[in-house]
């Protein structure tokens, strides 16, 4: 009877293909060399990882299909997506599809030595031989392959102007980079140019929009001031973290206390001033209320 195997990792096995054993039947499985989970049999890659690696290659092709030769000089191009500035050759980035294709072709050349050539496009050629490549890592150079293909995908996305926009802030949950995407799916540009959502590239958390992200970041930094008062904040950051402090007060603190005179300040110092001011405001307010008119 067929069933979905329930793989349980086995302790102390000496045969790789028995790394996992099904809880319900006698089947065993090797481990996937990409995600370290069960591969589902004797293979070294699981279905999910195989599909993911193939998708990277498919996306590269899809980006290259979006290339318009007029985009090479984006400043003059009528075809350039609004709002988007691609990295040009001027700043050392890739300048056209040939840069992306040369990465793919160098891998095709390496694999052709062992697997022979055919008429497929380079991305198709590689995608069709991932299974071979992972089982022959020394011949195929598999250890570098997934990373190189992601680099090529990044280049392809960049030349067609679909790289995500990086926000200057960091993720309050994991300190990863946060971005707003320019595409709905790989190679499918957003109609409005940019997604509203803010996405962390580290923990993958998604905020509804920049406002929600900033609110979360602010709460996190206020916590940081309490947990680790030595963390340094710049004047611009402090203004965003404590929006209730008006410009005049920041100016006062700078003049009277030298706040931010020598660059960033420990969050604890700023937080203390903010709290003292808040309690002063409360007291003055309370006294005023009690003072008979
Ligand atoms: Zn089973
Ligand atoms: Zn896997
Ligand atoms: Zn994160």
pLDDT tens, position by position, 105-151: 999 999 999 999 999 999 999 999 999 999 999 999 999 999 999 99
Between residues 284 and 101, which one has the greater pLDDT?
101
- Residues within 5 Å of ion ligand 3, judged at the Cβ atom: 171, 173-174, 176, 200, 202-203
The average pLDDT across 81-110 equals: 73
Report the separation in Å between the CA atom of 160 and the middle of ligand 2, taken as the mean of its atom positions.
30
Strand, helix or coil for residue 84: coil
Question: Would you list the domain boundaries of the chain?
Answer: 1-44, 47-159, 173-211, 232-290
Give residue-wise pLDDT tens across range 166-198: 988 888 888 889 999 999 988 888 888 889 999
User: What pTM was estimated for this model as a whole?
Assistant: 0.70
Query: pLDDT band at 239, cuts 50/70/90?
Result: confident
User: Ligand 1 is a single-atom ion; what residues have CB below 5 A from it?
Assistant: 5, 22, 24-25, 27
Give the residue, 177 or 73, on which the prediction is more confident.
177
Residues 6+ apart with CB under 8 A from 125: 108, 111, 118
Residue 77 has pLDDT above 80, yes or no: no
Question: How does the average pLDDT of the chain come out, rounded?
Answer: 86
- Give residue 191's pLDDT: 85
CA of 186 to the centre of ligand 3 (A): 21
Collapsed DSSP state (helix, strand, coil) of residue 7:
strand
Å from CA of 143 to ligand 2 middle: 14
Q: What is the Å distance from ligand 1's center to 30 Cα?
A: 14
Q: Distance, CA 199 to ligand 3 centroid (Å)?
A: 8
180 bridge partner residues: 165
Q: Is the pLDDT of residue 73 over 80?
A: no
The 10s digit of each residue's pLDDT in 3-29 is: 999 999 998 888 889 999 999 999 999
Share of residues in the chain with pLDDT > 70 (%): 88
Identify the pLDDT of residue 74. Answer: 60
Query: Considering every ligand atom, which ligand is closest to the CA of 26?
Result: 1
CA of 120 to the centre of ligand 2 (A): 26
Beta bridge partners of 218: none
Residue 82 has pLDDT above 50, yes or no: no
């Amino acid at each position: 009877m067929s069933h979905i195997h329930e793989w349980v990792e086995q302790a102390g096995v000496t045969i790789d293909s028995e790394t996992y054993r099904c809880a319900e039947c006698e089947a065993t499985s090797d481990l996937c060399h990409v995600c370290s989970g069960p591969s589902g049999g004797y293979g070294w890659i699981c279905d999910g990882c195989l599909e993911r690696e193939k998708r990277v290659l498919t996306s590269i092709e899809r980006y290259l299909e979006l290339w318009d030769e007029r985009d090479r000089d984006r400043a003059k191009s009528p075809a350039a997506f609004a709002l988007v500035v691609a990295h040009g050759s001027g700043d050392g980035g890739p300048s056209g599809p040939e840069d992306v294709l040369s990465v793919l072709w160098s891998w095709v050349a390496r694999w052709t030595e062992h697997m022979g050539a055919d008429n497929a496009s380079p991305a198709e050629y590689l995608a069709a031989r991932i299974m071979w490549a992972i089982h022959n890592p020394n011949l195929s150079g598999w250890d570098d392959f997934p990373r190189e293909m992601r680099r090529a995908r990044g280049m392809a996305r960049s030349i067609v102007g679909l790289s995500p926009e990086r926000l200057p802030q960091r993720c309050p949950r994991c300190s990863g980079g946060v971005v707003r995407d320019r595409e709905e799916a790989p190679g499918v540009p957003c109609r409005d140019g940019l997604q509203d959502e803010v996405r962390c590239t580290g923990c993958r958390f998604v905020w509804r929009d920049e406002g929600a992200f900033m609110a979360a970041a602010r709460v996190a930094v206020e916590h940081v001031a309490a947990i680790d008062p030595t963390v340094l904040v710049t004047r611009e950051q402090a203004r965003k973290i404590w929006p209730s402090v008006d410009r005049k007060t920041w100016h006062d603190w700078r003049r009277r206390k030298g706040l931010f005179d020598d660059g960033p300040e420990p969050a604890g110092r700023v937080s203390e001033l903010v709290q003292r001011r808040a309690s002063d405001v409360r007291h003055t307010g309370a006294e005023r209320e009690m003072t008979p008119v």
